[in-house]
């Protein structure tokens, strides 16, 4: 296999510019084309002028998998790499710090060959410059954050919008080409900065038009209007009825689980009928869907069950005197168990607050026990277009087909990705599964993210890859910026 010069080497154009302009180097790593003086860095801080050479300033990261030998763990190389041999099958080359393929005709910065279990493999790595990228944000809460399609703002600038809610979570769609480049300059800058922070696992405070203020941080609980969220709901009101109906049976005559989406009423619900519960005669407000399931009992909000109510009895429309009876026991509870109240009907069939019996309290607490911790989850989503694919092969569509056929595996900083069906290579990656400092930016504005394509060498040759630029894994020892980190043990190993 042939080797190529270190990617720290400047392009011929950059060298010519340096000689002609008192050591100033023109960086050709993105369309901005920064002119960098000696000892300085460009606008993105990713490239600098080191003694007249265009140099990537941050470490180039490989991930080292610990191996077990004779019952003992082989020591990991360590961040301060000691120059030990890089091992086929236990070292994975990432795109973090690798550099970019811009402009399109360049081969990828590193095209690395290795031999694993008798098979010659190739991993092509690069840092993609993504104007077409965004974040899908899942916020575990039943509290209302804002109307669907409402703008999400940071520092007054729109960076995305509220999208359709999912089961137990509110969803945001942030970034995208229209916010990065289609609006004003400030909008693009704020959008890029916010996305970079979120991808770097930092908190970002956002306001939603007509809704709440929320602090989002990947892997942490959301903070809504200054209050940290604790629990993700166990289910909708109807599902909560179904889960706990038998545990309430015999201890309560009626249970109403308050929920913004589907409020459940136990005695009417199919679960209550299976238990032969006596009708209680309490009719809640809203639109009846099926027995024991009600829509629109209140407006969305941050109160009980994601509604705007603070007084649960306000959702009761009427109590039928022909069916209800004095002494009837009523539990009202939210889908997280955070809100609960116990009532007993008096002689006038009016619910009166009473002390909650231990058996009922146990089930309310069990609702909370079954709620998972509320978290913010962030998926980075981007499309690998022309320059990325051309950096792999002179015939980019063959790379796409190889990915579709699952011959080529795509990873981002070694983390697994989901590749969307349809045209192109549009992928999503969980930012918490990626190594620290995986992301960067360029001031076009756009985010920079690592991407790796791994495949058998025979498949790489068949797709018309840049075979002349394949270099052996061991040759990376000559890279002065090399940094070895431990493989994240929660991620699947991407090589055979």
Secondary structure in 3-state letters for 235-287 = CCHHHHHHHHHHHHECCECEEEEECCCCEEECCCCHHHHHCCCCCCCEEECCE
Q: What is the mean pLDDT of residues 285-308?
A: 94
At 67, is the pLDDT very low, low, confident or very high (cuts 50, 70, 90)?
low
Percent of the chain with pLDDT over 90: 75
| Residue of 70 and 339 predicted with greater confidence | 339
Q: In this model, does residue 444 exceed pLDDT 80?
A: yes
Q: In this model, does residue 19 exceed pLDDT 70?
A: no
At 117, is the pLDDT very low, low, confident or very high (cuts 50, 70, 90)?
confident
Nearest residue to 208 (alpha-carbon basis) of 175, 253, 169, 160: 160
Quote the CA–CA distance of 68 and 229 in Å, as a whole number.
41
User: What pLDDT, on a 0 to 100 scale, did the predictor assign at position 48?
Assistant: 85
| 123, 453 Cβ separation under 8 angstroms | yes
Q: In this model, does residue 2 exceed pLDDT 80?
A: no
Quote the CA–CA distance of 71 and 343 in Å, as a whole number.
62
Which three-class secondary structure string do you get for 330-393?
A: EEEEECCCCCEEEEEECCCCCEEECCCCHHHHHHHHHHHHCCCECCEEEEEEEEECHHHHHCCE
Q: Where in the chain are the domains? A: 1-57, 63-158+191-216+377-496, 237-369
Q: In this model, does residue 242 exceed pLDDT 60?
A: yes
DSSP 8-state class, residue 218? B
Q: In this model, does residue 1 exceed pLDDT 60?
A: no
Quote the CA–CA distance of 394 and 64 in Å, as a whole number.
31
Quote the CA–CA distance of 261 and 247 in Å, as a whole number.
23
| 237, 367 Cβ separation under 8 angstroms | no
Residue 238 sits at φ, ψ, to 5 deg, of -65, -45
| pTM of the shown model | 0.87
Q: Which of 102-106, 136-140, 178-182 has the highest mean pLDDT?
A: 136-140
User: What pLDDT, on a 0 to 100 scale, did the predictor assign at position 69?
Assistant: 54
Q: What is the mean pLDDT of residues 425-453?
A: 95
Q: What is the mean pLDDT of residues 199-227?
A: 97
Q: In this model, does residue 277 exceed pLDDT 50?
A: yes
Q: In this model, does residue 80 exceed pLDDT 50?
A: no
* First-last CA distance in the chain: 20
Q: In this model, does residue 104 exceed pLDDT 90?
A: no
User: What pLDDT, on a 0 to 100 scale, did the predictor assign at position 293?
Assistant: 97
User: What pLDDT, on a 0 to 100 scale, did the predictor assign at position 94?
Assistant: 97
Q: In this model, does residue 77 exceed pLDDT 80?
A: no
User: What pLDDT, on a 0 to 100 scale, did the predictor assign at position 31?
Assistant: 80
Q: What's the mean pLDDT when you consider all of the chain?
A: 90
User: What pLDDT, on a 0 to 100 scale, did the predictor assign at position 58?
Assistant: 86
At 68, is the pLDDT very low, low, confident or very high (cuts 50, 70, 90)?
low
Structure-token pair, residue 245:
């109906």
Which of these ranges, 32-46, 154-168, 212-226, 371-385, has the smallest mean pLDDT?
A: 32-46
Q: Is 231 left (phi over 0), alpha (psi -120 to 50) or beta?
A: beta
At 71, is the pLDDT very low, low, confident or very high (cuts 50, 70, 90)?
very low
């Amino acid at each position: 296999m042939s080797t190529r010069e270190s990617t720290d080497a400047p392009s011929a154009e950059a060298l010519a510019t340096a000689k002609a302009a008192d050591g100033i180097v023109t960086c050709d790593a993105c369309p901005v084309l920064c002119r960098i003086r000696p000892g300085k860095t460009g606008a993105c801080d990713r490239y600098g002028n080191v003694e007249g050479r265009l140099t990537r300033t941050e470490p180039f990261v490989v991930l080292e998998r610990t191996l077990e030998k004779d019952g003992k763990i082989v020591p990991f190389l360590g961040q301060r790499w000691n120059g030990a041999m890089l091992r086929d099958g236990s070292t994975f080359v990432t795109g973090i710090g690798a550099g970019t393929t811009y402009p399109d005709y360049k081969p990828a910065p590193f095209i690395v060959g290795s031999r694993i279990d008798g098979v010659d493999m190739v991993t092509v790595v690069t840092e993609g410059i993504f104007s077409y990228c965004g974040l899908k944000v899942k916020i575990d809460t039943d509290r209302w954050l804002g109307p669907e399609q409402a703008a999400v703002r940071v520092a007054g600038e729109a960076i995305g919008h509220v999208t359709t809610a999912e089961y137990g979570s509110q969803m945001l769609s942030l970034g995208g080409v229209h916010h990065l480049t289609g609006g004003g300059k400030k909008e693009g800058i704020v959008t890029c900065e916010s996305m970079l922070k979120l991808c770097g696992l930092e908190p970002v405070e956002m306001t939603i038009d007509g809704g709440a203020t929320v602090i989002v941080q990947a892997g942490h609980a959301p903070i809504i209007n200054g209050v940290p969220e604790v629990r993700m709901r166990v289910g909708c009101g109807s599902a909560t009825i179904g889960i706990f109906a038998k545990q309430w049976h015999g201890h309560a005559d009626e249970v109403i689980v308050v929920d913004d989406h589907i409020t459940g009423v136990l005695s009417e619900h199919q679960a209550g009928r299976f238990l032969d519960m006596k009708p209680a005669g309490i009719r809640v407000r809203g639109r009846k869907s099926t027995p024991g399931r009600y829509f629109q009992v209140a407006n969305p909000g941050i109160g009980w069950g994601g509604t705007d109510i603070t007084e649960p009895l306000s959702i009761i429309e009427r109590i039928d005197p022909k069916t209800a009876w004095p002494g009837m026991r009523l539990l009202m509870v939210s889908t997280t168990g955070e809100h609960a109240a116990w009532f007993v009907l008096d002689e006038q069939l009016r619910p009166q607050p009473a002390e909650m019996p231990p058996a009922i309290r146990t089930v309310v607490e069990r609702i909370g026990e079954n709620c998972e911790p509320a978290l913010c989850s962030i998926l980075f989503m981007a499309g690998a277009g022309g320059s990325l694919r051309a950096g792999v092969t002179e015939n980019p569509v063959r790379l796409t087909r190889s990915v579709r056929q699952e011959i080529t595996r795509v990873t981002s900083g070694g983390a697994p990705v989901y590749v969307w069906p349809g045209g192109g290579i549009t992928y999503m990656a969980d930012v918490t599964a990626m190594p620290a400092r995986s992301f960067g930016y360029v001031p076009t504005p756009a985010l920079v993210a690592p991407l790796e394509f791994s495949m058998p060498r025979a498949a790489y040759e068949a797709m018309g890859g840049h075979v002349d630029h394949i270099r052996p894994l061991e040759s990376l020892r000559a890279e002065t910026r090399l940094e070895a980190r431990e493989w994240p043990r929660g991620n699947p190993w991407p090589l055979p």
